[in-house]
Amino acid sequence: MTSHDQPPQQSHQPAWGAPAGAPAGGPKWARKRVIIPAAVVLFLIGVGIGGSGDGRTTTAASPEPAPTVTRTVTASPAAAPDADPPATGAPAPGRAAAPAPTEPERATVPDFVGMVLQTAQDTAQAEGFFLLTSHDSTGAGRMQLLDRNWKVCSQSKAAGTSIPTATAIDFGAVKLEESCP
């Protein structure tokens, strides 16, 4: 038989670059040689995709520790019922002086009767009164949508009295063209 009669010899090169004579699937060490670098490449691609996406490189910073909140509570020693107060006007050590009660701010109520409702409200606010309401003096229950179209017929706090500025003042009003009841 001549060399022409023989079928050409096929090279049985094992898969994954394994040496000749290794089984067709290749040894485990040969497969690891491909799988591990592929896994590393896929990991790096995944990290790149999970990044900011704007082309800039970002680094992971270590998380900052949460701030520590410290709460200080100072207990004052209990005084004996028979104990004499300190001779000086200063408070006892470790004891804060109690704040003196403050009087609420007071103001004198102006006479709002006859004023346009908007002007009465502006004047009351200039005096320090901010709790202001108004109602329809005719009893019809109309709402004062445009305060410039109403005039004050009555006020809930008498003019000339000194009251705390936190007191509510209610104005009874009618339309400008109407007369007060």
Q: Which domains does the chain have, with CATH numbers?
A: 106-175 (3.30.10.20)
What mean pLDDT do residues 45-58 have?
Answer: 60
109 close to 155: Cβ distance less than 8 angstroms: yes
Q: Flag whether pLDDT at 46 surpasses 80.
A: no
Residue owning tokens 């936190």: 166
Q: Could you tell me which of 159, 11, 38, 118 has the C-alpha nearest to residue 19?
A: 11
125 close to 117: Cβ distance less than 8 angstroms: no
Q: Is 177 exposed, middle or buried (0-12, 13-18, 19+ CB in 10 A)?
A: exposed
Q: Flag whether pLDDT at 18 surpasses 80.
A: no
Q: Is 138 exposed, middle or buried (0-12, 13-18, 19+ CB in 10 A)?
A: middle
Q: Flag whether pLDDT at 23 surpasses 60.
A: no
Instruction: Express as a percent the part of the chain with pLDDT over 70.
Output: 52
Question: Higher confidence at residue 59 or residue 114?
Answer: 114
112 close to 159: Cβ distance less than 8 angstroms: yes
Whether the model clears a pTM of 0.85, i.e. scores above it, the answer is no
| pLDDT of amino acid 137 | 96
What mean pLDDT do residues 100-113 have?
Answer: 91
| pLDDT of amino acid 3 | 53
Q: How many residues does the chain have?
A: 181
Q: Flag whether pLDDT at 164 surpasses 90.
A: yes
What mean pLDDT do residues 129-149 have?
Answer: 95
The DSSP 8-state label assigned to residue 17 in this structure reads G
